Amino acid sequence: MRIKEYKIINRIFEINKIKSDYCFDFSFDLFLILDLRGNIVYANSNYLGTLGYSQDIDLPKKSIELIDELVHHEDKDATILSHQDAITGKKVIEFENRYRCIDGTYKYYSWTSFPLIKKGFIYMIARDITEKKEIEEQLRKSNQMVNSILGRITDGFYAFDKKWLFTYVNKEAEQMTGKKKEEIIGKYALDVFPKWHNSKVWEQYNKAVKENIPIHFETQGIYAGRDKWLEIHAYPSHDGLSVYFRDITEYKNYLKEMEHLSRLDLIAQMAAGISHEIRNPMTSIRGFMQMLSGKEECGKYKRYFEMMIEELDSCNNIIKEFLALTQNKPENLEMRNLNEIIGKIYPLILADVIKNNMNISLKQKDIPSLLVNEKEIRQLILNLVRNGIDAMSAGGLLTIRTYKEENKIVLSIEDQGAGISYDLVEKIGTPFFTTKAEGTGLGLASCYSIATRNNASIDFSTSSLGTTFFVRFNLATTAEQI
């Protein structure tokens, strides 16, 4: 800018000083005018007054000096760059920075510059946003604290907005749903979990929002690949819906086991009352049949006597199995390795598989020994294997696995049958319940009883592709731990 033009601009401001002072000095905003060299042509009285400085101190002549003296060191580079952008002709430049007050504290300002390149100067207006920044910082800390709390709770938690888009998910929810945060946040609920379509979960969530009431319910298997029971609590708000949920599968299994034990206790009482009443007459009948079959005059009926004796023996075996269900004390427990027990009876298993024109896969991992009754564990394995074989048609694959899972040793036996229908699931393991034409319904029931006596539990998963039974042994090393 030429010296003559510069003098003209100064003269204009001198002539209009009263008007400018009146217009700008009563403003709560800061106002500056710079020339294209960065010289301060005009500054209103609030410019330094709001920072606590006296109005009669010498104002630096150049904006760069002002920046160097008062702007926070972390904001200097960005402030200088914004000035340079304004001088190069960008229409509007907006930025924020901090200015040092006389007491050493800092205030935040939001600046807007209006470069008028053809006229040779730049208007700059700033507004004090310190209070806004402090509120934002308080909110940030509050959100950080809330996020920290939600991230540490042992319950799963996620939140939706009014459009059913996920707005938050904690780490526990990531683990329980099998989905990463990046796969969930900002996504539509049914796109993330399509299994929710027409489900109890979706119905209850919508009910909570529409009726504006908290909802509490239990459900099973709502996440892909997870057959887990969840306890869910949904709370509506003006922003959407917040959902807390926890895994109660263990609790459900406990209730199921208690129900099973209650049934066994009832069976024990029945067995104690009738076993002798039945077996004593049977023993007498068997003895007389043996005696008669040996008499010469009954020789022509010997074959019938032998058949009847065989049937009585069969009935007696059923009664023995029935009575075995009532036993609840472990007997003859010794340290044995599950892989070795399977190895001993594997020829029998293989013979059954080949006989039925099926295939078998044995997948064993290194596992520690267990305190068990080997004879009972053999019976348990053979019962589960034969159930798996009976469930499949020719060509099916039976898979036996052993592995360690946290503090348990797991035996799993998987078949490729048609699965167990939903209405029969609750009856599995109940004495005398069977789907086999010639079954007694005691094989699987005895497996549950054996598992209990050997410090183990049984559960299963089933679908149209087959059924897998899991026997989970606790890692006990002494009889006192049983």
Q: What class has domain 3-133?
A: alpha beta
CB-based contact 67:80 (threshold 8 Å): yes
Taken as a whole, the chain contains a residue count of 482
Please give the CATH architecture assigned to the domain spanning 334-481.
2-Layer Sandwich (3.30)
- The string of pLDDT tens digits covering residues 60-73 is 666 777 777 788 88
Per-residue model confidence (pLDDT) at position 15: 43
Give the model's confidence band at 239: pLDDT under 50 very low, under 70 low, under 90 confident, else very high.
Answer: confident
Percent of the chain scoring above 70 in pLDDT: 73
CATH fold of the domain at 261-324: Helix Hairpins (1.10.287)
**12-26: average pLDDT:** 47
Give the model's confidence band at 425: pLDDT under 50 very low, under 70 low, under 90 confident, else very high.
Answer: low
Per-residue model confidence (pLDDT) at position 51: 75
Closest by alpha carbon to 44, among 14, 18, 65, 24? 24
pTM greater than the 0.85 cutoff: no
**6-18: average pLDDT:** 47
Compute and round to an integer the Cα radius of gyration of the chain.
42
Query: What residues pair up with 128 in beta bridges, in sequence order?
Result: 109
Residue 365 confidence (pLDDT) above 90: yes
- The string of pLDDT tens digits covering residues 85-140 is 777 766 667 788 888 888 888 888 888 888 777 777 788 888 888 888 877 777 77
Per-residue model confidence (pLDDT) at position 424: 67
Same fold, 3-133 and 334-481: no
Instruction: Delimit the domains of the chain by residue range.
Output: 3-133, 153-247, 261-324, 334-481
Exposed/middle/buried for residue 66 (C-beta within 10 Å: 0-12, 13-18, 19+): buried
The CA distance from 284 to 274, in Å, is: 16
| Helix (H), strand (E), coil (C) string for 361-401 | EEEECCCCCEEECHHHHHHHHHHHHHHHHHHCCCCCEEEEE
What count of other Cβ atoms lies within 10 Å of the Cβ of residue 13? 13
The CATH code belonging to domain 153-247 is 3.30.450.20
